[in-house]
Structure 1
Amino acid sequence: MKKVFLAAFSFILLLLISCTAKNVNQENQYKSFKPGEIWLDTDGNPINAHGGGVLFHEGTYYWYGEYKGDSTYRNPNPNVAGWECYRTEAGGVSCYSSKDLYNWKFEGKVLEPDTVNIGSDLHPSKVLERPKVIYNEKTKKFVMWLHVDSDDYWKASAGVATCDSPAGKFNYIGSMHPNGQISRDMTLYKDDDKRAYLLYSSEGNATLYISLLTDDYLQHSGRYTRNFPEKYREAPAVFKHNNKFYLISSGCTGWDPNKAEYAMADSLLGQWTALNNPCRGVDAEKTYYSQSTFALPVNGKKDTYIAMFDKWNKTDLIASRYVWLPVSFNSDSLVINWADEWSY
């Protein structure tokens, strides 16, 4: 009897050790970035946060992105016949948390789809893209902006939602045409003076608007600029370095990759100078077969930034991957070099 008990105890102990070792391994499985490779969360599942952005708050990074469903289809709507409009049902916005930017824990969906009301912006038949979140110190609210659209991309609006915590359930407020113009691909930027800006493709994607938000980050102040008219730039990603602003964007070729471009300015609402392709290395002319989504400053690392790209798989969108690459500078010139593997 004692031998049976000892054997059972030993088996349970080994099982516990194995499970603990597995959890520790999963939670610390990455020590570097491997652009374009499958990226698993701490539960061992592929990260599902496409077209996303990252917020740093109180020692933790939060990655928000489009939660893609596992069924991709080409939209039969005649209004999108001019391009390959592959899509999945809108699955809401996902959130992942990390201390080191390598290993990410799935926090769940922070903006849930509305499966009941077909007229809702959040209904699965609609489009939810490029969510970005910033924190408002005055209101103590986390504010999310995202591209909200109809399945034929004719609604072309900007939606806004708020929450009291970074990984809680966001309350959807509604959508709008900011400054009276349509809005598609977008990003958010919060400056050192706590002012926040929405950058979005408008006028049929021909022009990029930069709009100052109100102090609560929920509306547009009425101050905005029109940039790069008739240049057809989308997928904006912006950051600040040495008191200059850098804006990375892509051309408009649907899901297919194209050459990135960057621009510089002394202020967000100032004059932007369009420059060249910052990418270097193999497939740089196709932006490594990916598209920009966000520019991330690494907390506590001076002059350290990560250029975040999505490597879209248009016929299987849930299988799209992530290309995160280091940003470097040659004087004021922006350079993004390809690396098979790297760490900051």
Structure 2
Amino acid sequence: MKNIFFILCLTMVSLCSALAQEFKPGEVWKDTEGNIINVHGGGILYHDGTYYWYGTSMHFNSKASPLKGVGVYTSKDLYEWENKGIALSVYPEGSGHKIEDGCLIERPKVIYNEVTKKFVMWFHLELKGKGYAAAEYGVAVSDSPVGPFKFLHAGRSCSGIKPMNMSVDDVEELSSKQNIKRRDPEWRSVVDKGLYTVRDLGKGQMVRDMTIFVDKDKKAYHIFASEENQTLHIVELSDDYCNYTGRYVRILPGKGNEAPTIFRHKGKYWLITSGCTGWAPNAARMAVADDIWGPWTELENPCIGEKANKTFNSQGTFILPVHGKKNVWIFMADRWNPNNLGDSRHIWLPISFDENGVPELKWYDSWKY
């Protein structure tokens, strides 16, 4: 009888554990210590059998700047996550450092450089007390995936360099039109053509919502909202992943995209983004290209079903390829709670494909990969 009771207990434990191994989008997600997972706008790195989930550590019960910096959690299976603390800490208030307490660090992404053996973090940085006026990137490196990461530099993108898909004639023409205002009939057409690109050639291009993508050839690219959030830029990174090469393009000009996420499938690059509505959700957008440099073709909203027009009340942050699973990707998103950013919920959904091979996003109350 004791053996039977023991077997029943083991069976119940196994059953409960199996039931726990599910993603439940929008529900409270706790770490192995029972605390709410507090990383937002981030991404995941898979390295040597472990997943590392990075994101901004937010204040609870307020709309405020990062609590301490960029947090990191680890997992072997994507379901259970252990808090490893702060991977990148901000400097004390009053230090005058670019990432001092009170700055904004958003959408951090970490990639591993196989040549330098360094873990490289890129993030969107806004300077303390300047709102969203700075529009800079930040870069930090570490010998360990859990940090501590050492801040390297920050700034605007590609100062003094024009995009590869903008001509010298375009630069000259737009230089003469810098006094055009939003109320002017010509404003939209010149913005689409690159009015703000030319405006910012001297100090560098604006960097806001962003992601990092490493292609199959190990070339890495920084993809971000620029030009007052009107146009996305794709910029090639140096071989050490710590700087720009100076090669970049403008894509989807004037379309007002932010929150870029990207993956590659069957030779095509798929980009899923959102519109610019602040903390409020909107309908996702999608684009496809045969080459990372474009041209990019706009497609329909990939979301299907109830609340598809609000991306299921969320905004994308990263597309994760599941290690060891062929053609399995997870669309990671945040359901922002502007009154309590630390409790913004995580929305993870599988990417499926229609009969034409076009990505789709469908809602599931719970699912497994």
TM-score by length of 2: 0.81
- How far is the alpha carbon of 1:116 from its aligned partner? 4.0
Structure 2 CA distance for aligned equivalents of residues 26 and 213 of structure 1: 45
Contact 1:90 1:122 in 2 (8 A): no
Matches for 1:80-229 after TM superposition, within 5 Å = 87-150=64-127, 151=129, 152-179=131-158, 180-229=204-253
- How far is the alpha carbon of 1:101 from its aligned partner? 0.5
- How far is the alpha carbon of 1:117 from its aligned partner? 3.7
- Partner residue, 2:361: 336
Query: In the alignment, does 2:43 pair up with 1:36?
Result: no
Deviations 1:57-101 (A, max 9, x none): 01111000000122414xxxxxxxxxxxxx334520000001110
Question: Structure 1 or 2: larger strand share?
Answer: 1
Name the amino acid aligned to 1:292: G
Q: Compared with structure 1, are the counterparts of its residues 312 and 26 closer, same or farther at alpha carbon in structure 2 (3 Å cutoff)?
A: farther
Query: In the alignment, does 2:254 pair up with 1:230?
Result: yes
Deviations 1:191-218 (A, max 9, x none): 1111000001001010000000010111
- How far is the alpha carbon of 1:30 from its aligned partner? 2.9
Give identity over the alignment, percent.
48
Contact 2:58 2:341 in 1 (8 A): yes
Structure 1 CA distance for aligned equivalents of residues 282 and 217 of structure 2: 34
- How far is the alpha carbon of 1:148 from its aligned partner? 0.4
What value does the CA root-mean-square deviation take over the aligned residues? Answer: 1.8
- Partner residue, 1:80: none
- Partner residue, 1:48: 38
Runs of 5+ in structure 1 lacking a partner? 1-23, 74-86
Corresponding residue SS for 1:318: helix
Structure 2 CA distance for aligned equivalents of residues 102 and 146 of structure 1: 25
Q: How many residues were matched structurally?
A: 309
- How far is the alpha carbon of 1:220 from its aligned partner? 0.6
Which of 262, 273, 293 in structure 1 is aligned with 2:297?
273
Deviations 1:253-307 (A, max 9, x none): 0000100011111121121111110001211100011000000000111010000
Corresponding residue SS for 2:85: strand
Name the amino acid aligned to 1:95: V
Q: Compared with structure 1, are the counterparts of its residues 50 and 28 closer, same or farther at alpha carbon in structure 2 (3 Å cutoff)?
A: farther
Runs of 5+ in structure 2 lacking a partner? 1-13, 159-203
Which of 62, 74, 94 in structure 2 is aligned with 1:72?
62
Q: Compared with structure 1, are the counterparts of its residues 29 and 159 closer, same or farther at alpha carbon in structure 2 (3 Å cutoff)?
A: farther
Structure 2 CA distance for aligned equivalents of residues 187 and 66 of structure 1: 14
- How far is the alpha carbon of 1:28 from its aligned partner? 8.2
Q: Compared with structure 1, are the counterparts of its residues 286 and 173 closer, same or farther at alpha carbon in structure 2 (3 Å cutoff)?
A: same
Corresponding residue SS for 1:178: coil
Structure 2 CA distance for aligned equivalents of residues 318 and 28 of structure 1: 28
Q: Compared with structure 1, are the counterparts of its residues 232 and 302 closer, same or farther at alpha carbon in structure 2 (3 Å cutoff)?
A: same
- Partner residue, 2:340: 316
Corresponding residue SS for 1:199: strand
Name the amino acid aligned to 1:338: W
